[in-house]
Structure 1
Amino acid sequence: MNNSDIRIGIGGWTYGPWRGTFFPDKWPQKRELDYAASKLTAIEVNGTYYSSQKPATFAAWANAVPDGFVFALKASRYCTNRKILAEAGESIARFTSQGIVELGDRLGPILWQFMATKRFDPEDFGAFLKLLPASQDGITLRHAVQVRHESFLVPEFVALARAAGVAIVYADSTDYPAIADVSGTFVYARLEAAVEDEPAGYAPPALDRWAEAAHAWAAGGAPEDLPYVADPAPVTPRDTFVFFINGAKVRAPHGAMALIERVSG
Structure 2
Amino acid sequence: MAGRVRIGTSGWVYPPWRGEFYPPKLAHRRELEYLSGQVNSVEINGSFYALQRPSSYESWRDQTPADFEFAVKGGRFITHLKRLRDIDAPLANFFASGVLALGPKLGPLLWQLPPTLAFDAEQLAAFFDMLPRTTTAAAQLATRHDERLDGRAWTTTDADRPLRHALEVRHPSFTDPAFLDLLRAHGIAVVIADAAASWPYLEHVTADFAYVRLHGSTELYTSGYTDEALDGWAERIRRWTAEGLDAYAYFDNDAKVKAPRDAMALAARLGLG
Q: Structure 1 length as normaliser, TM-score?
A: 0.87
1:89 is displaced (CA, Å) by 2.6
**Does residue 1:186 correspond to 2:193, yes or no?**
no
Deviating 4+ runs (over 6 angstroms): none
**Does residue 1:202 correspond to 2:225, yes or no?**
yes
1:88 is displaced (CA, Å) by 2.1
Q: CA deviation digits over 1:6-53, x for unaligned, max 9? A: 110001111111112111111111111110000011111110011111
**Does residue 1:66 correspond to 2:43, yes or no?**
no
What is the CA RMSD across the aligned residues, in angstroms? 2.0
SS of the aligned residue for 1:44 comes to strand
- Residue 116 (structure 2) aligns with: 117
Residue 193 of structure 2 contacts residue 215 of structure 2 at CA under 8 Å; is this kept in 1? yes
Q: Structure 2 length as normaliser, TM-score?
A: 0.85
- Residue 171 (structure 2) aligns with: 149
* Partner Cα separation in structure 2 for residue 115 and residue 84 of structure 1: 8
**1:16–1:195 Cα change, 3 Å:** farther
SS of the aligned residue for 1:140 comes to coil
* Partner Cα separation in structure 2 for residue 69 and residue 219 of structure 1: 22
SS of the aligned residue for 2:216 comes to coil
Amino acid at match of 2:253: N
Residue 112 of structure 1 contacts residue 146 of structure 1 at CA under 8 Å; is this kept in 2? yes
Structure 2 gaps of 5+ residues are 140-159
Q: CA deviation digits over 1:152-176, x for unaligned, max 9? A: 1122111111111111100011111
* Partner Cα separation in structure 2 for residue 117 and residue 246 of structure 1: 22
- Residue 258 (structure 1) aligns with: 265
**1:58–1:83 Cα change, 3 Å:** closer
* Partner Cα separation in structure 2 for residue 55 and residue 84 of structure 1: 25
1:179 is displaced (CA, Å) by 0.9
Q: 1:240 aligns with which of 232, 238, 247?
A: 247
Residue 80 of structure 1 contacts residue 88 of structure 1 at CA under 8 Å; is this kept in 2? no
1:194 is displaced (CA, Å) by 4.3
Residue 245 of structure 1 contacts residue 252 of structure 1 at CA under 8 Å; is this kept in 2? yes
Matches within 5 A, 1:1-265: 1=1, 5-82=4-81, 85-135=84-134, 136-137=138-139, 138-174=160-196, 175-194=198-217, 201-220=224-243, 237-246=244-253, 248-264=255-271
* Partner Cα separation in structure 1 for residue 106 and residue 82 of structure 2: 29
- Residue 230 (structure 1) aligns with: none
Q: Give the number of aligned pairs.
A: 246
Q: CA deviation digits over 1:104-131, x for unaligned, max 9? A: 1111111100001110011111111111
Residue 145 of structure 1 contacts residue 169 of structure 1 at CA under 8 Å; is this kept in 2? yes
